[in-house]
Structure 1
């Protein structure tokens, strides 16, 4: 297996996808602006997020031994990475939705809807992509189990493959917040991650960089220029394309790396989850204030800037801080448990319990 390392270009890919989601919502918040402000590419960006999440789970975890402790560590890290900042974002939207006369664009009203979002089963605004991401984390435990001992769990693997085939035959149906409708994007990323980690295919040469940037350009520009069907974006072809983009990006050819590993995109990748969660409410409030006395284009640029600044503070004050504290608390609990079970042992202290590279928001 290829040694696990930090892949800077994947940070940039995540940052690019997050920024394009932001741009795709400009027309929603500023409908009076010219049509060229409308970049209807939010779905493609989320698809890349999903494939990237599958890639990272496979490349980071699949080769590790799986036992009860490893599974618990994995789930705690996933929870700490996603839920604290997600909950803050949900509560902010609930607050905005309750302000009389504000008419927040993606409102969450009523106890049932609030509860649905708190337990990650809501679909308002960008929150719809978090439920399938969380469901995938649990599903990946089954994939990890099968990979840990293929012979022992061959019947489980066959059952999962059978379920996926049935899902594919019916066109991956169901609400967008449920994993069966999006599983092919995650698994495309898993396949790419396993192939990358195995080291069996390591394409080189300028064609790799050109193919990486070319595929990215095709996916987004063909949608913007309406060269492909607007409603045919969640099929197997797009899932395979998203997985291929992530795999090629991970090769880090000099040409694609110069773009995707650039400091601005890596910075956006770092704050991508907070940017994804908060950009709509922040830009909505900016539109309600800045839009009153500034020209539309200027207001949009400033609103995006405010969203990036807010996401930066959110990342440092909420997202990263909460993750570190929850992971450290869990590690201390695990050390105490091991010490209690083996009082003669001195548990070794781990280094910082930080995943080398994590998905959306995912996805987001």
Structure 2
């Protein structure tokens, strides 16, 4: 359900209404997409755009120190949490819709590989082949310091490794790949929705508890400490596909989760192991609200459906994977702007955003979108 998989727009759907409450068709025994929910939800593309912009601005936060935006930029890391919730919902929706169909595993993992591996391998190749620039050491030494095998197996987040700055963002990608390696078989094998819900609830509870431990083998990016976001997204999909509530009910639930989650994140949960849990609740509410209100004509939906945010959502994967390498490559521009104080800092941020956008756009239209056409051979 990523970009390009299903292009039916909501303009072809019947006019949405909050009175669709009686239209839900899923049942606890047979998960199914609610009839009021279209196969393509453009608002989620806008949320993905917000997520990637948050991450890019966070990695530029030192440049905001002399501006009023510094405190806000420090929260940009939460974009990863939003990515996790979105990914959990979209991928679990795919799994639930296809688990009764032939070639379940082949189609899912092949499509997942086509989406993730090409850009990922390209980033690895560029980083290592130009290791003197992106890692700060010769290629041979870079391979020993940041072993290539850990990246190929998507386990770089499980070890206390010094990740090259250019490949730093790959820790979250590793978590997603490990999660879906196990989650896809569970969706296939556990036939009762309550069993799947139990597994997801366990992940939601266990993640903050693991964050409170001091086990030497748990890294800052360990999968066990970052499961709540993906589990929340998966739980949203499971709920929508099995509980026959209408969009009004889901919308109210989502709005309540936004208020509760972000209020807790800004108060009692701040600075604790439960901060990510509170953010997961808030972002889960944002995703659920966008799903339940999809197609409505209001300023928020218009912002998420059209304009720059959905565009950034489309190119988000390439931008996420390459933005730090872009920062490093154009470090000379940063150095030249240092003499201009605050204006120089803002110029650096604007320049970084412009170049990252250009690189990700070229990557999408010239590379990613062409490879994604191969997904037609692995139709769900």
Q: 2:90 aligns with which of 56, 62, 70?
A: 56
Q: 2:282 aligns with which of 223, 234, 241?
A: 241
Q: Structure 1 residues 159 and 10 mapped into 2: Cα distance closer, same or farther (>3 Å)?
A: closer
Q: Structure 1 residues 144 and 97 mapped into 2: Cα distance closer, same or farther (>3 Å)?
A: same
1:34 CA drift (Å):
4.2
- If the length of structure 2 is used for normalisation, what is the TM-score? 0.71
**Runs of 4+ off more than 6 Å:** none
Distance 2:304 2:68 in 1: 28
SS at match of 1:258: helix
Q: 1:14 aligns with which of 30, 48, 67?
A: 48
**Structure 2: where are the runs of 5+ without partners?**
1-31, 158-162
1:280 CA drift (Å):
1.1
Q: Structure 1 residues 126 and 50 mapped into 2: Cα distance closer, same or farther (>3 Å)?
A: same
**Structure 1: where are the runs of 5+ without partners?**
332-352, 356-364
More RCO (CA 8 Å, sep 6+): 1
Taking the TM superposition and a 5 Å limit, the aligned residue runs for 1:1-364 are 1=32, 2-3=34-35, 4-28=38-62, 30=63, 34=67, 36-37=69-70, 39-66=73-100, 69-99=103-133, 103=136, 109-111=142-144, 113-115=146-148, 116-123=150-157, 124=163, 125-147=168-190, 149-150=191-192, 160=199, 164=203, 167=206, 170-171=209-210, 174-198=218-242, 200-204=244-248, 211=255, 215=258, 219=262, 229-232=270-273, 234-251=275-292, 252=294, 253-255=296-298, 256-289=300-333, 291-292=335-336, 295-325=344-374, 327=375, 331=378, 353=379
1:269 CA drift (Å):
0.3
Work out whether residues 200 and 235 of structure 2, in 8 Å CA contact, stay in contact via their aligned partners in 1: no
Distance 1:64 1:114 in 2: 36
Partner of 1:347: none
Q: Structure 1 residues 176 and 318 mapped into 2: Cα distance closer, same or farther (>3 Å)?
A: farther
Q: Structure 1 residues 210 and 99 mapped into 2: Cα distance closer, same or farther (>3 Å)?
A: closer
SS at match of 2:74: coil
RMSD: 3.8
Q: Structure 1 residues 17 and 96 mapped into 2: Cα distance closer, same or farther (>3 Å)?
A: same
- If the length of structure 1 is used for normalisation, what is the TM-score? 0.73
